[in-house]
Amino acid sequence: MKKYVGLAVTLFAFAGAFAQTASPARDYSVAVLWQQHAGEYRALCFQAYSFARISLDGALKASDSTKKNCVVVDIDETVLDNSAFQGHEIKKGISFSQKDWTEWTNLAAADTVPGALSFLNYAASRQVETFYISNRESADSLGTLKNLQQFGFPFADGRHLLLKHGTSDKEPRRQALAAAYNILLLCGDNLSDFSNEFYRQGKDTKACTDKSSTWFGTKYIVLPNPMYGDWEQTIYEHKHGISEQQRSEIRLQKLKDYSR
């Protein structure tokens, strides 16, 4: 009996030590696994781009013929799948490293988001250009174009790739584009990919989403991304410089349960 009690104590101590040393970044494991393995993830992407095709056809009938037509797409988790990068970071025990991200983009190894290439090729067949408005840095430009071009994404060139310069607010880039083009629809995984109504810090994006409900599935096409996004900042109350452990503790505290 003493032998079994001793074994139980040892296992309990080991489990406790493991829990204390396990990386807080492990919190993201299920989200990354879902994106990599779930058929539901693929189904939602196909669904989004099916809505995009229907919406594009409708928008073309009502478009202003004095301007060229275009669609605007984000890149990350909208046309390129970066879940392999997120998996790499989790195994390192972190959620994000800029150095690792630049290394990843230079590899040009991201897979396509299901349905994205088919939709954009369809848009091109209707004489609709694609502009890629992304908050990737200029240092990521060559790797990004290589990644897009190797899959044959249309309009994957320097003129159609609008990366971040100074601000992560995409509205100035969208407005400059709207001066010359009819933007028929926008595709993204983050609400700020559509309008800076969702961008401003401290805004209740849930309330803004409710006010814009009729735009989703028509003008705004949303792709699923369970791994990261601007929404996390409201969870952390826009605190900067907090540790991975602190983030993990805040995530646990913010969970709703039936006792509240």
DSSP for 173-222 reads: HHHHHHTTEEEEEEEESSGGGT-TTTTSTT--HHHHHHHTGGGBTTTEEE
- pLDDT-derived band at 199, boundaries 50, 70, 90: confident
Quote the pLDDT of residue 202. 57
Let me know whether 221 and 151 are in one domain: yes
In a domain, residue 108? The reply is yes
pLDDT tens digits, 126-160: 999 999 999 999 999 999 999 999 999 999 999 99
Let me know whether 112 and 192 are in one domain: yes
What is the DSSP secondary structure assignment for residue 139, as one 8-state letter? Answer: G
Let me know whether 120 and 247 are in one domain: no
In a domain, residue 23? The reply is no
pTM for this structure? 0.89
Quote the pLDDT of residue 240. 83
Amino acid at 211: K
Question: With 60 as the cut, is the pLDDT of residue 2 above it?
Answer: no
What is the percent of the chain with per-residue pLDDT over 90, rounded to a whole number? Answer: 78
What is the DSSP secondary structure assignment for residue 67, as one 8-state letter? Answer: S
Task: Write down the H helix ranges in the chain.
Answer: 2-21, 29-37, 39-61, 83-92, 98-107, 116-125, 141-151, 171-178, 205-211, 231-235, 244-254
Let me know whether 146 and 235 are in one domain: no
Quote the pLDDT of residue 233. 86
In a domain, residue 14? The reply is no
Strand partners, 188: 222
Closest among 69, 74, 60 to 178, alpha carbons compared: 69
pLDDT tens digits, 171-180: 999 999 999 9
Let me know: does 135 contact 163? Beta carbons within 8 Å: yes
Closest among 104, 107, 123, 235 to 187, alpha carbons compared: 123
> How distant, in Å, are the alpha carbons of 82, 191, 231, 232, 250 from that of 205?
24, 8, 8, 11, 19
User: Per the structure block, which two tokens stand in for 61?
Assistant: 């009938």
In a domain, residue 24? The reply is no
Let me know whether 88 and 152 are in one domain: yes
Let me know whether 209 and 174 are in one domain: yes
Residue ranges making up the domain that contains 88: 29-225
Q: Which residue has the tokens 């989004």?
A: 48
Question: With 60 as the cut, is the pLDDT of residue 14 above it?
Answer: no
- pLDDT-derived band at 224, boundaries 50, 70, 90: very high
Let me know whether 139 and 260 are in one domain: no
Quote the pLDDT of residue 22. 75
pLDDT tens digits, 79-113: 999 999 999 999 999 999 999 999 999 999 999 99
Question: With 50 as the cut, is the pLDDT of residue 17 above it?
Answer: no
- pLDDT-derived band at 60, boundaries 50, 70, 90: very high
Quote the pLDDT of residue 248. 95
Quote the pLDDT of residue 238. 81
Let me know whether 216 and 237 are in one domain: no
Torsion, Cα 28 29 31 32, to 10 degrees, reads: 110
Question: With 90 as the cut, is the pLDDT of residue 21 above it?
Answer: no
Q: What is the mean pLDDT of the chain?
A: 90
Let me know whether 98 and 209 are in one domain: yes
Quote the pLDDT of residue 19. 42
Strand partners, 71: 130, 185
Let me know whether 51 and 161 are in one domain: yes
For 23, the 3-state DSSP assignment is: coil
